[in-house]
């Protein structure tokens, strides 16, 4: 099955269900109120949100129409509880689900970030294991390696569950104002001369006490 295109709200609600299922199964399935708290959690979320219960409930209905969640009622459940159906609908392993979940919750990630942040969901043996999963998902059209931008030590991987990612454009070097090369060279020469003069003065000062 191909992966669907999700809205941001659907992405956040679904990823919280996945996270709680894998990290804290004792609190899963989840009530709408618990999902509100999970979506608006202050840690492990980027960007932060301020969802209310009405928005979460509407989003659950939309995800249910896509067969990605189901509701459990009756029995010992005083209020309806929700669970996800991602593993069966997308046919993904726990390894793949852990990597997807972190990117769904926090956006684009480096290999190092993914290795660290999937610890509570799935323990990868090394970076190669994480990278293997990313390439496998890329072959299915759901992850992509982003171009490395200036100032970034490592490239980042992102999911494509909301469509094609917005890639920041590199600022053109000719758009950055700079001093003329001749003026810069003159300034460097002047500073070097001042430093040399200070060294000479300090050497003469030390000799007075020898």
Chain segment 81-97, per-residue pLDDT in tens: 999 999 999 999 999 99
- Whether pTM > 0.85 for this model: the answer is no
Residue 169 lies inside a defined structural domain of this protein = no
- Residue 167 contacts residue 150 (beta carbons within 8 Å): no
At 55, list the tokens. Answer: 């928005």
Q: Return d(Cα 48, Cα 107) in angstroms, integer.
A: 12
Backbone angles phi, psi at 72, to 5 degrees: -110, 125
Residue 201 sits in the same domain as residue 107: no
Q: What is the pLDDT of residue 190?
A: 65
- CATH number reported for the structural domain that contains residue 71 in this entry: 1.10.10.10
Q: Mark whether 105 and 189 lie in a shared domain.
A: no
Strand 143-145 with 77-84, pairing: unpaired
179 vs 210: which has the higher pLDDT: 210
Q: Residue 108's pLDDT is what? A: 97
The rounded distance, in Å, linking the Cα atoms of 141 and 127 is 21
| 52-109 residue pLDDT tens | 999 999 999 999 999 999 999 876 668 899 999 999 999 999 999 999 999 999 999 9
pLDDT, residue 177, reads: 43
Tell me: do 36 and 100 sit in the same domain.
yes
| Number of domains present in the structure of the chain | 2
CB 1 within 8 A of CB 90: yes
Going by C-alpha positions, the residue among 144, 163, 135 that lies closest to residue 3 is 163
Question: Is 74 among the domain residues?
Answer: yes
Whether the bond between 29 and the residue before it is cis, its omega within 30 degrees of 0, is yes
Using CB atoms within 10 Å of the CB of residue 39, give its burial: 0 to 12 exposed, 13 to 18 middle, 19+ buried: buried
pLDDT digits (tens, 9 = 90+) for 159-201: 999 999 866 554 333 444 444 445 666 666 666 666 766 666 6
**167, 147 Cβ separation under 8 angstroms:** yes
Query: 167 Cβ partners below 8 Å, 6+ apart?
Result: 146, 147
The neighbouring-strand residues paired with 30 are 82
Show the domain range for 64: 8-159
Residue 128 shares a structural domain with residue 199: no
**Rounded alpha-carbon distances, angstroms, from residue 164 to 5, 11, 56:** 10, 14, 25
Query: Are 38 and 111 in a shared domain?
Result: yes
């Amino acid at each position: 099955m191909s992966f669907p295109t999700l809205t941001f709200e659907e992405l956040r609600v679904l990823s919280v269900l996945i996270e709680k299922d894998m990290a804290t199964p004792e609190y899963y399935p989840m009530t709408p109120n618990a999902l509100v708290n999970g979506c608006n959690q202050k840690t492990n979320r980027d960007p932060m949100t301020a969802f209310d219960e009405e928005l979460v409930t509407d989003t659950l209905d939309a995800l249910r129409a896509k067969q990605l969640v189901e509701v459990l009622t009756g029995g010992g459940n005083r209020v309806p509880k929700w669970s996800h159906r991602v593993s069966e609908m997308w046919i993904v392993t726990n390894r793949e689900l852990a990597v997807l979940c972190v990117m769904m919750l926090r956006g684009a990630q480096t290999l190092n970030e993914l290795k660290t942040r999937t610890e509570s969901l799935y323990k990868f043996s090394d970076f190669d294991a994480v990278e293997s999963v990313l390439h496998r998902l890329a072959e299915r059209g759901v992850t992509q390696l982003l171009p490395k931008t200036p100032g970034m030590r490592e490239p980042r991987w992102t999911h494509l569950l909301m469509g094609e990612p917005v890639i920041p454009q590199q600022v053109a070097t000719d758009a950055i104002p700079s001093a003329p090369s001749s003026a810069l060279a003159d300034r460097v020469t002047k500073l070097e001369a001042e430093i040399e003069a200070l060294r000479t003065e300090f050497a003469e000062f030390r000799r007075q006490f020898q």
